[in-house]
A = this chain, B = another copy of it.
Amino acid sequence: MNGTQNDVSDWWKTDIIDMVPGEIRLRGHPIEELIGNVTFPQMIWLMTRGDIPSKAQAELLECALVAAVDHGPQAPSIAASRMAVTCGLGLNGAMASAINMLDDIHGGAGEQAVELYSWIDNAVQAGQTLETAVPEMIDRWQTECTKFVPGFGHRFHKPVDPRAPRLLGLVDEAALAGTVSGRYAEIGRAIQHMLNTRKGKPVPMNIDGATAVIYAELGFAGPLARGLFCLSRSVGIIAHAWEQMNQGGRNKGPTPPSYRWTYSGPSPIDPKGD
């Protein structure tokens, strides 16, 4: 709001949105010129980064958004969204409880993978070979961060997560077309090669690792990679919550009501009476 600047207005300073009655501009663009002229992925890029991406850039982003929408009711976030609506929440509340869970372990791997890739890329840009940078940075990651190499390994999809080769293939096409450099696809494949060799078995690049390649190729910062994963997974969260609403149910627990938990503490109840 230019013209009314003071300390209270300045407390909420933003480059993102400007408004007067009857006018809205996002990143400087009148909203009515954006509606109908930019795609939703272009809008996501514009809002988070400030510029409108090319069609080719936006299409590669779109592939990452399409790929990560769901992983089924065994995923804690999806289970939570389905349970939430049976407690009386609307879709906004179900999304809140569920998206909250996409934290460091469940949804943060993409953010971490972008960071790991950039360590390796920085080393290579500084003159190191990819062959030495990959194991060095993985060792550093496992020393400084966690033993889990982010973006690789899957407890279910073995030996291959079907999304990863498809996404990498699309990055290759985009690199051929000059849309992206292809450096991060190379880094991702080098990590996979090294992990397979070290472990003596396939350690498949998973959805976090594959979408992180795209986010890094397109220049998204790590925290945004997490945010965009949350946005993508929100689609599955909404779909499952809505399906559960239609299935009905009240206070749906994690297992059928006839199953109980195992009590492992002191003074268990003697079901025959005590």
Contacts and interface: CB of A to CB of B under 8 A. Distances in A.
Interface of A: 1-5, 7-32, 34-36, 38-41, 43-44, 47-48, 50, 62-63, 65-67, 69-77, 79-80, 82-84, 86-93, 95-108, 111, 155-163, 165-167, 170, 221, 223-224, 226-228, 230-231, 234-236, 238-243, 245, 247, 250-269, 271
Contacts of A99: 92, 95-96, 99
A30 B227 CA distance: 25
A62 B35 CA distance: 9
A62 B40 CA distance: 6
Contacts of A227: 91-92, 95, 238, 241-242
Which of A24, A27, A159, A262 lies at the interface centre, i.e. has the most chain B CB atoms within 10 A of its CB? A262
A236 B250 CA distance: 20
A32 B160 CA distance: 12
B260 A9 contact: yes
Nearest to A66: B43
- Which are the 4 A-B pairs with shortest beta-carbon distances? A1-B260, A88-B104, A28-B267, A15-B265
A18 B268 contact: yes
* Number of copies of this kind of chain in the complex: 4
A224 B240 contact: no
Contacts of A165: 32
Given A1-B263, A261-B74, A156 B21 contact: yes
Contacts of A265: 14-16, 18, 27-28, 50
Contact of A226 (B8, B13, B92, B167): B92
A162 B9 CA distance: 23
B255 A74 contact: yes
B70 A26 contact: yes
A238 B48 contact: yes
Contact of A155 (B27, B40, B230, B257): B257
Contacts of A262: 1-2, 5, 9-10, 12-14
B238 A231 contact: yes
22 contacts: A1-B263, A13-B247, A17-B70, A21-B157, A22-B157, A23-B162, A25-B268, A25-B269, A26-B69, A31-B67, A32-B165, A34-B66, A36-B166, A39-B62, A40-B41, A73-B261, A76-B83, A80-B84, A92-B102, A95-B96, A227-B242, A231-B231
